[in-house]
Amino acid sequence: MKSVNFSFAVGAVALAAATPAAFAQDVAGSTASQVLAIPQGYAASAFQVPIGSGAGWGGIGVGLYGQTLDDDIFADDYDGSVGLNIGLGDPSKYVGLDVSASFASLSDADGSDDGLGEAGSVGLKLHTNLPGYASVAIGVQTIGRWGAVADGGNESSVYAVASKYFALGGQGLVATLGMGDGAFHDEANGVGVFGALAYYPVTWFSVIGEYTGRFANLAVSVAPIQRWPVTLTAGAVNLGDRFDLGTQFAASVGVGFSF
């Protein structure tokens, strides 16, 4: 179960870093394009699952993710990771590439003696924006593993995902649907389906419901400072108490920069 926990910590911290990295891009347009990729702080459209949009040239994001754990299973009752996301290319004209690194862990919950930066993995996501306020991506998580991540039975996960914005009067909805193996499926082999719905009563606040292929999560996200690409997201993960891991609390913060 250690690898199960880390797999989604990787996804969440990468998303925490990638979301404001995409927001930091100099993209102008309608409310829909602003929700998917804009130069301000807007609420997130997912918590632990990948999304179709990403960053381009000059977009850099830093994320921090933390989660409580069942201390009957893990060596500590919480853990966390730090993520870095760098955007390459131009997803509006051609394609963009997100290169992310996740550094684990902030505690000794995995039972190892690795300090921060001494264990982690790399992720890649190739993405493009489509007409109709949609985006698609293919990616891989947890490659280039080192430290306890390489030793703990964690495997890479390949996925394909699409996201689309729907206008609801003065409000909005972002729907995400994808499929992938590894962390996105219950079994050791096979492909699972994941998805998320994010409701935006206003652009700086969202309510997120998602299914990771293993766990059901519910979260809220807020951008507390409208002119800054900062996103805070918090919620309950594993609502169904799968694998006897218990329902846990998790939170992430992401900050974006544009150069």
Provide block-wise average pLDDT over 10 residues at a time, the chain (259 residues): 44 54 36 39 89 90 82 60 90 94 68 64 94 94 80 81 92 96 81 96 94 94 85 91 80 84
> If you count them, how many residues does the chain have?
259
Q: What is the pLDDT of residue 79?
A: 74
Q: What is the pLDDT of residue 240?
A: 83
Q: Which long-range contacts (CB under 8 A, 24 or more apart) does 214-218 make?
A: 214/4, 214/8, 214/183, 214/184, 214/185, 214/186, 214/242, 214/243, 215/8, 215/48, 215/239, 215/240, 215/242, 216/240, 217/47, 217/48, 217/250
Closest to 208 in 3D by CA, of 51, 4, 66: 51
Which pair of structure tokens corresponds to residue 51? 């999304």
Q: What is the pLDDT of residue 42?
A: 83
Q: Does residue 90 contact residue 45 with C-beta atoms inside 8 Å?
A: no
Q: What is the pLDDT of residue 127?
A: 96
Q: What is the pLDDT of residue 105?
A: 66
Spatial separation of the C-alpha atoms in residues 140 and 157, rounded to whole Å: 5
Q: What is the pLDDT of residue 29?
A: 29
